[in-house]
């Protein structure tokens, strides 16, 4: 899809909204839902950590997400993202 990228491709200070989650594992879907990582949610990349996890800000809260899960989430970057 044009204009979409994986959440795992975001870099610090990128802002995006979640478009879809490509996963069939119910437990992972429930986990992502519990973090607020659901279609329509706004997400800001805070940092990519040394242990290959991501720190994200979702709904005003910072959450940690592993690279494997981040590769299942499609986002569309916000217009102002990376403009600095």
Per residue in 11-67, pLDDT tens?
999 999 999 998 888 999 999 999 999 999 999 999 999 999 999 999 999 999 999
Residue 8 DSSP one-character state:
G
| Residue 11 domain flag | yes
Q: Considering Cα of 4, then 10, then 13, then 15, what sign does the dihedral take?
A: positive
| Residue 83 domain flag | no
Contacts of 50 (CB under 8 A, 6+ apart): none
Say what the pTM is: 0.85
| Residue 82 domain flag | no
pLDDT at residue 83 tops 70? no
Please tell me the total count of domains within the chain: 1
Here the CATH number for the domain that contains residue 9 is: 2.30.30.90
| Residue 55 domain flag | yes
Q: 36 lies in which domain range?
A: 4-77
pLDDT at residue 70 tops 60? yes
């Amino acid at each position: 899809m044009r204009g979409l990228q994986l959440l795992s491709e975001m870099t610090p200070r990128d802002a995006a909204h979640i478009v879809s989650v490509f996963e069939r594992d119910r437990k992972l879907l429930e986990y992502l839902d519990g973090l607020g990582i659901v279609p329509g949610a706004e997400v800001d990349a805070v940092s990519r950590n040394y242990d290959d996890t991501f720190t994200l800000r979702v709904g005003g809260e910072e959450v940690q997400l592993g690279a494997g899960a981040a590769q299942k989430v499609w986002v569309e970057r916000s217009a102002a993202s990376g403009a600095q």
